[in-house]
C-alpha cells in the first residue's frame, strides 16, 4: 500500500514554525510603517526565507522554498494572523521581540542541523545557523529602512553562535538529535531574552582621529 502522507521531521516542523514567527515579525514592522498588504507580505516573506536562501546557496543546494510552497503559505497565514489580530499584534511593543526571538532560535537550529547533516564541520554549521537565524532579519530591517539589529549593540547573531556551540557539544556527547536541537533553541532564546532584559551587549569600537 502506497503511503500518500509522510509525517514531517522535527526539524521541518521547526522550520515552518520559525517561518511563521519570522514572517509575523516582518509583517508587524511593515504594518507599523503603514505598508500596504502586498508590501507587508513581501517584507514578511523576505524575513522568513532570506536567511535560509543564503544558507542553501552557500551549501550548494536548492533553496527550500523553491521546492515546497509551504513557506509561501506559512507567510500568507502570518499575514492573515496580523490582519485579524492587528489591534493586539501591532500595538504591543514586545510582540515583535517575542516573534523575532522565536524565529531566531528555531532558524538557528534548522541552519546548524542542515549543514551538520550534510557533513560540514561544526564551525561551518555554526556559521550557517547564524546566517539562517540573522540574515532574514537584516533583509527585513533594510526593507523597512532601519539599522539591522545585527549591527546594533544588542546581542543578536552572537546568540546564534552560542546556541550553535551548545548544539555541537551535545552532538559530541552523542545525545539524541532532538535533544541537541531543543538545547540549541532554548539557549538562543534565553541568551537573547537575558541580553535584552539586563542590557548585556558587546563592546563597541570607538574611532579616534
Instruction: Delimit the domains of the chain by residue range.
Output: 10-197
Rounded distance, CA 129 to CA 104, Å?
A: 9
CB 191 within 8 A of CB 198: no
What stretches in the chain show pLDDT beneath 70? 1-7, 90-93, 207-209
Contacts 24+ apart (CB under 8 A), 175-183: 177/10, 177/113, 178/10, 181/10, 181/11, 181/14, 181/109, 181/113
- pLDDT, position 169: 97
Give residue for cell 542553501: 56
Look at residue 11 in the predicted model and tell me its pLDDT.
Answer: 87
pTM: 0.90
DSSP-H helix ranges across 59-176:
70-84, 86-89, 93-117, 122-143, 157-172
201 — phi, psi (to 5°)?
A: -145, 165
Amino acid at each position: 500500500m502506497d503511503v500518500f502522507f509522510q509525517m514531517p521531521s522535527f526539524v521541518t516542523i521547526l522550520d515552518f514554525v520559525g517561518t511563521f514567527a519570522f514572517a509575523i515579525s516582518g509583517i508587524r514592522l511593515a504594518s507599523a510603517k503603514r505598508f500596504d498588504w502586498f508590501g507587508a507580505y513581501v517584507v514578511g516573506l523576505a524575513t522568513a526565507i532570506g536567511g535560509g536562501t543564503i544558507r542553501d546557496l552557500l551549501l550548494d543546494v536548492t533553496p527550500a522554498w523553491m521546492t515546497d510552497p509551504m513557506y509561501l503559505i506559512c507567510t500568507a497565514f502570518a499575514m492573515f494572523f496580523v490582519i485579524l489580530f492587528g489591534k493586539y499584534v501591532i500595538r504591543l511593543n514586545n510582540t515583535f521581540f517575542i516573534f523575532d526571538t522565536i524565529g531566531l532560535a528555531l532558524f538557528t537550529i534548522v541552519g546548524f542541523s542542515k549543514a551538520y547533516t550534510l557533513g560540514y564541520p561544526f564551525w561551518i554549521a555554526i556559521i550557517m545557523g547564524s546566517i539562517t537565524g540573522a540574515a532574514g532579519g537584516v533583509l527585513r530591517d533594510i526593507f523597512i529602512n532601519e539599522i539591522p539589529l545585527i549591527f546594533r549593540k544588542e546581542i543578536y547573531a552572537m546568540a546564534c553562535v552560542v546556541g550553535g556551540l551548545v548544539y555541537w557539544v551535545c552532538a559530541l556527547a552523542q545525545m539524541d538529535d532532538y535533544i541537541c536541537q531543543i538545547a540549541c533553541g532554548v539557549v538562543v532564546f534565553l541568551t537573547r531574552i537575558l541580553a535584552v532584559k539586563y542590557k548585556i551587549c558587546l563592546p563597541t569600537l570607538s574611532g579616534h582621529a
